[in-house]
Amino acid sequence: MESQVSKPASASHDFLMEKRGNRRALKDLLAKIGVTVGGIMVFVALLLIFFYLLYVIKPVFDAAKVTPLSSIPVVADSKTLMVGTDEQNEIIYRASEQGTVDFYRIANTSKQTMQLPIPAGAKVVSSAASVPNQQLFALGLDNGQALLAGVNFSVSYPDNKRLITPGLRYPMGEPLIAVAEDGAPLQQLVFAYSSSKVSFAYRGNQQQWFLTRLDGEQNMLTEETEWQHHSKLLPNTPALVEHQLLTPDQRQLMLQSGNKVFIYDISDIDDVSLMQVLDLERNKAKVSNISLLAGASSLLVSYNTGVVAQYFQVAGEHGRLYQFIREFKGLGNIQALASEYYRKSFATVSEDGRLELLYTTSERELFSKKFDLTKPVAMGFSPRANALVVLADDKLQLLGVSNAHPEVSWSALWNKVWYEGYPEPQYVWQSTSGSDDFEAKLSLMPLAFGTIKAAFYAMIFAVPLAIAGAIYTAYFMSAKVRSLVKPTIEIMEALPTVILGFLAGLWLAPLIEDHLPGLLILLILLPVTILITAFTWSKLPVRIKLLLPETYQELLLIPVICFFGWLSFAISPSIELWLFHGDTRQFITNTLGMSFDQRNALVVGIAMGFAVIPTIFSIAEDAIFSVPRHLSNGSLALGATRWQTLTRVVLLTASPGIFSAVMMGLGRAVGETMIVLMATGNTAIMDWSIFQGMRTLAANIAVEMPESAIGSSHYRVLFLAAFVLFVFTFFFNTIAEVVRQRLRERYSSL
């Protein structure tokens, strides 16, 4: 009977076990699938981030595109002065040296001609065009007068359709301006215009050069501008002038004769002086033309050897003088050269019709292709730099230009660049400015350097404290105290970094500045005090040691550390008065010759180190505590001391985990944003000084992304900065994993 009863019970038990086993197998399978899918999705997410960043960045490095759009036959009965187009590229214009302006509509090739009011009996003997963005030109007459005019485009919307109407404008109210007081013909005229000042330079009789300036002052009653006339004979002018330029700010006049340019300071018409004679000699090449780059700070010199050289002023021992900066070679026999209105791009057309599009600062050749542009006469950019007008073979040709990001190149991002107005090539990040003439400077080197610098000082502060704390907590500390210390340090990681940055910027930075000697004393006094305290404790009688239970002996250092920390800051003013004459900052700045920023690398190192310590401590402590006890017990049994066991057994076995902890901390330090953003001056400089600030990649993205225009070069370079940061962290994590695996293989036999 008993056997008959037990058999069904046994069968039921086996059935239940099999059912539970199936459920467990199903759960294991589902967990395996979930973990696998989760891992794959993480990998896919990383790939999507990677490729999205590349998708946004790629257009920055795309070459420019130039495509023919329209061609209009032209009867050139007189020499062309300038060509151009309106903002919408609907109308092309051609201004001749005889005072006629022809406007051509692209849609129907209709022509409209306008004539400047040249006085009867007067003859045009010279002509000049202003900088491209003004679209002004002047004609010099043989009676000492000048005709100053410009093209104008008005927009109206009849029947809700845009209509652009061309016309002429006279910026000084009247087209005719008396320039030469003696009525001499205005030979080789050049001019510059602003709303309150106009300057004319010209060659008069007997090969003498004159400067005429009209200063405008608004009449308070009539609200009309009244012009005062001043003239001056220019001293020491060359006998034969081939080209002449006048800067838009009306401070410099340039006369090119042969391979020399005579540069005059004309800012004060009563004190005109020869400022510099610039030698343009380059390998015995002949100068074919000179022109001003956008912004009029650079001089472009083209040679008959197909070379275009850039010169601009550089501060030196003798003041700000022009000097050679860079050159572009292999451009052929250049017949026409045009600069953009606002950017540092320029285009050249050679005799055989090859069009080259280049950018000076980034030194990029953006485009090069041969078109049907033989024998080019004149060329000009559209106001938006999205089109080129070229007069060649008696045809006005409109070429569409796609050139969105010329200022960005690998060289400009990672190498030193010589920017206009700078004394030497430098790494510069300066993306925005209040001036429309500003050229963005987008070097990533200061940001990458700042990222490494911030992480370096944070790791110097965090790694010794975190690893030493992890070693003591895991190996020497009693279990009861460890159960309190470890969670306390780990909970520090929950502190928002914005709070740490806030405290660092508003409390810690002024504290360090006011008590810098105390901080330096603390760095020396604290380790010495801890060693002395430990040595003294070891020499005390046993009966005194028993007064404090062994479990809590490590807590003895807390009052010692607090007291000597307070003491260091308490005696800081006295030390500062004794050694640094009461002002440490002035001593660092004046005596040592070092810059001192209140929010500097020292503040960042302490604040960010405080944020990184919990990460390194937690991982390193777990790695040390997880070392099998039989290894340390075996070492102690063989006669080794606890210190020998720690250094030769425990740390070697835990080294993969300790290294991973350091690399995890480094990864967090590299990607930290809020602390660096709030605890530094965010100055993009390259200086290892601990008293200087920095700007990191992460902080720069956080600051500038909200203000960047979508699709602009600035916007895409910020994404490139994010990509570089992504690569940084990926590189560090990969290195950490490789080293960790090798350490594990090496010490696994222990």
669 and 749 Cβ atoms separated by less than 8 Å: no
pLDDT at 9: 62
Range 73-88 burial, b when 16+ CB lie within 10 A, else e:
ebeeeeebbbbbbbeb
pLDDT at 309: 94
Domain with CATH 1.10.3720.10 in the chain: 449-747
Strand partners, 271: none
What is the phi/psi pair of residue 377, to 5°? -110, -45
d(CA 258, CA 277) in angstroms, rounded, equals 12
d(CA 485, CA 502) in angstroms, rounded, equals 26
pLDDT at 513: 85
- Please give the average pLDDT of every successive group of 10 residues along the chain, which has 750 residues: 53 69 82 89 89 92 91 85 92 91 90 90 90 92 91 91 92 87 88 91 87 84 78 88 92 92 92 91 87 90 92 88 92 90 92 92 91 89 93 91 90 91 90 65 92 92 92 85 86 86 88 86 86 84 74 77 87 85 82 82 90 91 86 84 85 85 87 86 86 90 88 91 88 79 68
Strand partners, 355: 349, 369
pTM score > 0.75 for this model? yes
pLDDT at 2: 47
486 and 473 Cβ atoms separated by less than 8 Å: yes
Phi/psi-derived region of residue 632, left when phi > 0, alpha when psi is between -120 and 50, beta in every other case = alpha
Tokens of 274: 């020869």
3-state SS track over 388-420? EEEEECCEEEEEEEECCCCCCCHHHHHCCECCC
d(CA 102, CA 205) in angstroms, rounded, equals 33
Phi/psi-derived region of residue 295, left when phi > 0, alpha when psi is between -120 and 50, beta in every other case = left
166 and 92 Cβ atoms separated by less than 8 Å: no
Other Cβ atoms within 10 Å of 400 Cβ, number: 15
34 and 371 Cβ atoms separated by less than 8 Å: no
Residues 6+ apart with CB under 8 A from 61: 405, 408, 409, 410
pLDDT at 401: 94
pLDDT at 7: 53
**CA nearest 625: which of 481, 489, 474, 477?**
474
Tokens of 255: 């006369």
pLDDT at 312: 92
What is the phi/psi pair of residue 527, to 5°? -60, -40
pLDDT at 425: 92
- End-to-end, the C-alpha distance of the chain in Å comes to 59
d(CA 537, CA 555) in angstroms, rounded, equals 13
504 and 513 Cβ atoms separated by less than 8 Å: no
Domain with CATH 2.130.10.10 in the chain: 65-414
**CA nearest 604: which of 524, 491, 682?**
682
d(CA 660, CA 736) in angstroms, rounded, equals 6
To the question of domain 449-747 being in CATH 1.25.40.10, the answer is no
* Residue length of the chain: 750
Q: Which CATH class is domain 65-414?
A: mainly beta
d(CA 92, CA 105) in angstroms, rounded, equals 7
For the chain, what is the total number of helices (H) and then of strands (E)? 18, 31
pLDDT at 750: 55
